[in-house]
């Protein structure tokens, strides 16, 4: 509510400065969520060709290697106190012709509303507050987003209502950033390289150890190596797995070893990626790696990988959404992420069906005969 009063406070300044506004041809895209949400915004960035962005510092390493982005603003820097908010609001007030708001929380709505852009397009979600109406009154267009409408498509519709997710590809960095040096183990030959994320940013979306053990056991007849990706603070989740089941020989621990800007390249070396609804699964999707998504409580109708993907889960468990994320559930995680024998068999078939993987399996079977 305080941002409403802040907009009212700046309204005379906004009107006065509008008299002196000149066309700039510049775009501003506002998406201040984390890795997966940023990657899901890249089709819009690609469609617009060149834009400035207001984003979270957590995705800065990806954004700085993105040739669709001209200038980067970090939300953490500009919402620190009243002075920073007012200074940034005045800085962007006459800077843009087009403003696209993808993450419509109060602070982002304020910054989008204060702009004197000719064209302002806002996403409206199921978490919209009654007092947000004053912000939406400044928009030139609104795209209504529901719990079962694909977020990527609605982001694109902000630019053109005829667009869908099929009209522009995702990217993680553009062009794909290739590090000068990377772990040689990523090129290990004659194995099926499967990337996994043990944890997710939301602990409630973290797959429990028993599920990983069931997956590993079902794939035991394939020459699989499991590459565990994650931030340094996710080591404790891998420790949970080894505490229960001991060291798993074909687990390769890369937690904390791959910087974020190098992560898309590293994941591109995988033959498949398995994870819950976490940022890395969208990185894998952006570099065209086949994906197995354990969706658990997350609504895959609203947001999911869009390439070669296998979904595993029970729709009856869906109760967490992009703009209404839950952190606590009545069921335990083993039930939320439970996999049936049928799903495990389909997972095995999915992984072994890719041409490279099929060749390895055939070679191993030939040696056995």
* 248-305 pLDDT tens trace: 889 999 999 999 999 999 999 999 999 999 999 999 999 999 999 999 999 999 999 9
Q: What is the pLDDT of residues 63-101, one digit of tens each?
A: 999 999 999 999 999 999 999 999 999 999 999 999 999
**341: which DSSP letter?**
H
Residues found in the chain: 369
* pLDDT confidence of residue 203: 75
Give the pLDDT band of residue 369 (cuts 50, 70, 90): low
**320: which DSSP letter?**
B
Mean pLDDT, residues 116-122 taken together = 98
Q: What is the pTM of this model?
A: 0.94
Least confident of 13-17, 259-263, 364-368: 364-368
**Do 53 and 69 contact (CB within 8 A), yes or no?**
yes
Q: What is the pLDDT of residues 148-157, one digit of tens each?
A: 999 999 999 9
Q: What percent of the chain is predicted at pLDDT more than 70?
A: 96
β-partners of residue 196 are 228, 274
Mean pLDDT, residues 53-70 taken together = 98
H, E, C per residue of 191-216: CEEEEEECCCCCHHHCCCHHHHHHHH
Q: What is the pLDDT of residues 165-178, one digit of tens each?
A: 999 999 999 999 99
């Amino acid at each position: 509510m305080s941002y409403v009063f802040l907009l009212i406070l700046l309204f005379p300044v906004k009107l006065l400065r509008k008299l002196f506004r000149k066309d700039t041809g510049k775009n501003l895209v506002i998406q201040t969520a984390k890795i997966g949400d940023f990657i899901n915004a890249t089709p819009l960035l690609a469609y617009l060709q060149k834009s400035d962005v207001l984003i979270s510092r957590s995705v800065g390493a990806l954004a700085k290697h993105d040739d669709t982005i001209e200038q980067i603003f970090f939300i953490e820097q500009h919402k620190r106190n009243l002075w920073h908010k007012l200074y940034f609001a005045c800085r962007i007030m006459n800077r843009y012709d087009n403003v696209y708001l993808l993450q419509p929380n109060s602070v982002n709505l304020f910054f989008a509303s204060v702009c004197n852009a000719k064209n302002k397009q806002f996403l409206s979600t199921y978490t919209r507050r009654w007092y947000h109406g004053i912000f939406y009154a400044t928009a030139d267009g609104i795209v209504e987003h529901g719990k079962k409408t694909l977020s990527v498509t609605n982001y694109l519709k902000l630019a053109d209502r005829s667009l869908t997710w099929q009209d522009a590809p995702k990217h993680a960095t553009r062009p794909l950033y290739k590090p000068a040096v990377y772990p040689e183990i990523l090129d290990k030959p004659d194995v099926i390289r499967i990337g996994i994320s043990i944890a997710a940013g939301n602990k409630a979306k973290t797959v429990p150890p028993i599920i990983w053990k069931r997956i590993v056991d079902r794939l035991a007849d394939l020459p699989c190596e499991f590459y565990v990706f994650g931030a340094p603070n996710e080591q404790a989740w891998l420790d949970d797995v080894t505490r229960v089941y001991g060291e798993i020989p074909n687990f390769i621990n890369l937690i904390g070893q791959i910087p974020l800007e190098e992560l898309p390249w590293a994941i591109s070396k995988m033959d498949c990626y398995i994870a819950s609804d976490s940022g890395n699964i969208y990185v894998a999707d952006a570099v065209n790696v086949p994906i197995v998504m354990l969706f658990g409580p997350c609504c895959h109708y609203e947001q999911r990988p869009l390439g070669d993907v296998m979904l595993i889960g029970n729709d009856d468990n869906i109760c967490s959404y992009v703009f209404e994320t839950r952190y606590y559930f009545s069921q335990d995680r083993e039930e939320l992420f439970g996999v049936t024998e049928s799903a495990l068999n389909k997972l095995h078939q999915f992984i072994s069906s890719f041409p490279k993987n099929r060749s390895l399996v055939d070679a191993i079977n030939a040696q056995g005969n």
